Amino acid sequence: MRGKNNTYNFLLHFPQTRLNWLNWLVMVLYAVFIWLSEKYRFSFLVVCIGVTLLIWSGLGFTILVNLIKIRNTTGGNPLKKKLTMALGIAALALMLIGPLIFILIADQYTKG
């Protein structure tokens, strides 16, 4: 990253790592949830809880995708396949429960 165009190089290589993509995604999610909180009058606490739960569900999705890749390459070991299946079900549950909890919390805040 040394050279004349340091800013250009930084912007060019910034989104290439997964962690930076995750940071960008979190910032976009926070912006969307802040916009939703203004539109539907959620409190900022509900916004933070919602973003955290969405990150959890995204994490569950990432785990699930990686476990499917692992399951396809494990060969004939039945214990590894069962373990990956159990972890995949747990990741799927995490992915589905996160937004559901947010909807329930947001529903309670908007009623009260």
pLDDT of residue 6: 53
Per-residue pLDDT of the chain in tens (112 residues, 90 and over written 9) = 455 555 445 444 544 455 556 666 766 776 777 677 677 666 666 667 777 777 766 676 677 667 666 666 656 677 777 777 777 777 777 767 766 776 777 677 666 5
DSSP assignments along 4-61, one per residue: S-HHHHHHHHGGGSHHHHHHHHHHHHHHHHHHHHHHHT--HHHHHHHHHHHHHHHHHH
Q: What is the pTM of this model?
A: 0.38
Domain ranges of the chain: 17-111
pLDDT of residue 14: 46
pLDDT of residue 97: 73
pLDDT of residue 86: 77
